[in-house]
Structures are given as C-alpha cells and as structure tokens.
C-alpha cells in the first residue's frame, strides 16, 4: 500500500484489520484487542504519511481523496448495531400505537358475570316462538343477571355459534336475540323503546344498550340521548 512503511507482515496484518473494520460484515467491534491494534497501526501510518516530503500540487490533487476516505472510515458502525436500533425504534412505535388504541377504546358501563342462577323457565318457549330459525339449544343457556331491567343470557345454537339473549323482565318479552359464528365478535343492541316500554330502569333518555360477549363475561355499553331540559 503506497506510503506505508510497515514490513510485509505488518502490511498484511493492517490490511486484514482494516477489512474487518471497514469491509463487508465488519466484526472488529467485538474484538477489543484487534480494534486497539488497528488504531495503533492507523496512528503509525498517519505519522508515516505526515513525515513524507510535500508532493507537487498536481500529485496532491490526485491523492487528495485517499486520506478523506480513510478518515471517513475511522469509526465504523457495525450492521448489527444499526439493525438493533432500527428494531428498537419499531418496538417503541408499536408500543405507542397500542397504548393509544387502549386509551381511546370505550370502557364498558358494566361487566356482567355468570350469575349461576337457574334460567327463567319462560325463556326456552320464548326462543322457540320468537327466534325459531336461530335454533338456540336450551341446555346451553347461562344467565348473567339483570341490567337496567334486562335479563341477559348466553347460549350456543345448533350451528355451534355463540348467542346472546335479552329478556325484558317486566313484560316477559324477548327484547333481542343475536348469534354470530366464532371467532366473530358477538354484539347485541337493545333499543330503549322496544316491546312497549320506554327507557331503561334508572336511566333517562332514549337510546340503546350494546352487549358484547367476551370469554366468560358480557360487557354493557349504554348510549342514551339525554332528555331535553
């Protein structure tokens, strides 16, 4: 290599260390002794170059690019380090998006749990008459208690689809029935004016209650239009 004053063995060592530092797949960053040796040889090389006689203007112009290239390569950034930081940035961005979605998602007004109580004996007959095509199997019905005047049940139909049932407690009528094949989200919207009753118990205003079946619970979301004051 022009301008170097190492022996042939030192030249080969210097070339190999530079290849490990600046060539494809650099690995010298995990070899502290090798990196220290490279810095030692580079310092010696710079000292040798600085001690050379000043070349004519034309020769300096021709060789001006070499020191700049060497200087720009003094602190290599290993590819694994770049990939690490890129991956860390992606993980951070994903965490921010997930947190934003969780914070912006509506919270249920109530979460209903299985009550363990016996199913209303009117319910199987009401389902046969009011929703015969859904074929909800009576043996699978499970109650979640009462919410704002509605008794809520879940079950499974003959097609292995989960179902939700709302029974208006005061009138004894079915308010709504919904089934959806898994793994689709099962939601049931019950209007406040259905079955001849106005409003929900304890709540003023017209609207709906949206019931969403989870694994072992039912979330209830109340959406009402306040009465004019």
Per the document, the length of the chain is 229
Q: For the packed helices 32-50 and 8-22, what is the interaxial angle rounded to 10 degrees?
A: 120
**Model pLDDT for residues 126-156, shown as the tens digit of each residue:** 999 999 999 999 999 999 999 988 999 999 9
Query: According to the 3-state scheme, what is the secondary structure of 41-70?
Result: HHHHHHHHHHCCCCCCHHHHHHHCHHHHHH
Between 59 and 182, the more confident residue is 182
At 11 the pLDDT is 80
Residue 123 confidence (pLDDT) above 90:
yes
Asked if 52 and 114 sit in the same domain, the reply is: no
Residue located via tokens 């089934």: 179
Considering the chain, what is the average pLDDT of its residues?
78
pTM (2 decimals)?
Answer: 0.53
Q: Answer whether residue 1 is part of any domain.
A: no
Asked if 136 and 210 sit in the same domain, the reply is: yes
Rounded to whole angstroms, how far apart are CA atoms 159 and 225? 37
Residue 41 confidence (pLDDT) above 60:
yes
Rounded to whole angstroms, how far apart are CA atoms 111 and 46? 74
Asked if 69 and 97 sit in the same domain, the reply is: no
Average pLDDT score over residue span 176-198: 82
Asked if 214 and 115 sit in the same domain, the reply is: yes
Alpha-helix residue ranges (DSSP H) falling in the chain: 8-22, 32-50, 57-63, 65-72, 79-104, 123-130
Asked if 61 and 150 sit in the same domain, the reply is: no
Q: Residues 149, 208: contact at Cβ < 8 Å? A: no
Residue 46 domain boundaries: 8-74
How confident is residue 91, by pLDDT bands cut at 50, 70 and 90? confident
Q: How far is CA 171 from CA 122, 151, 195, 196, in A?
A: 12, 11, 8, 9
CA dihedral 76, 82, 85, 87 (to 10 degrees): -170
Asked if 125 and 221 sit in the same domain, the reply is: yes
Q: Answer whether residue 22 is part of any domain.
A: yes
Domain total of the chain: 3
Between 217 and 80, the more confident residue is 217
At 88 the pLDDT is 73
The share of the chain scoring above pLDDT 90, in percent, equals: 34
Between 67 and 206, the more confident residue is 206
CB atoms within 10 A of CB 43: 10
Q: Answer whether residue 156 is part of any domain.
A: yes
Task: Give the residue from 23, 55, 74 where a domain finishes.
Answer: 74
How confident is residue 181, by pLDDT bands cut at 50, 70 and 90? very high
Beta-carbon contacts of 166 under 8 Å, excluding residues fewer than 6 positions away, are 150, 151, 152, 153, 174, 175, 176, 177, 188, 190, 211
Rounded to whole angstroms, how far apart are CA atoms 126 and 144? 18
How confident is residue 71, by pLDDT bands cut at 50, 70 and 90? very low
Q: Answer whether residue 34 is part of any domain.
A: yes
């Amino acid at each position: 290599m022009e301008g170097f004053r190492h022996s042939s063995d030192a030249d080969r060592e210097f070339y190999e260390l530079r290849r490990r530092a600046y060539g494809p797949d650099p690995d010298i960053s995990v070899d502290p002794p090798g990196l220290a040796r490279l810095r030692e040889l580079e310092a010696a090389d710079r000292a040798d170059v600085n001690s050379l006689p000043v070349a004519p203007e034309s020769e300096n112009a021709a060789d001006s690019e070499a020191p700049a290239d060497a200087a720009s390569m003094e602190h290599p950034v290993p590819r694994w380090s770049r990939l690490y930081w890129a991956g860390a940035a992606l993980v951070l961005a994903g965490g921010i998006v997930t947190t934003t979605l969780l914070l912006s998602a509506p919270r249920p007004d109530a979460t209903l749990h299985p009550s363990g109580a016996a199913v209303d004996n009117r319910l199987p007959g009401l389902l046969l008459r009011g929703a015969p095509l859904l074929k909800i199997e009576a043996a699978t019905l499970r109650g979640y208690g009462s919410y704002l005047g509605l008794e809520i049940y879940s079950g499974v139909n003959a097609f292995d689809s989960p179902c939700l049932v709302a029974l208006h407690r005061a009138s004894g009528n079915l308010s709504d029935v919904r089934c959806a094949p898994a793994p689709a989200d099962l939601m049931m919207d019950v209007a406040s004016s259905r079955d001849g009753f106005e409003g929900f118990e304890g709540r003023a205003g017209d609207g709906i209650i949206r019931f969403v079946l989870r694994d072992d619970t039912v979330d209830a979301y109340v959406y009402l239009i306040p009465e004019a004051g």
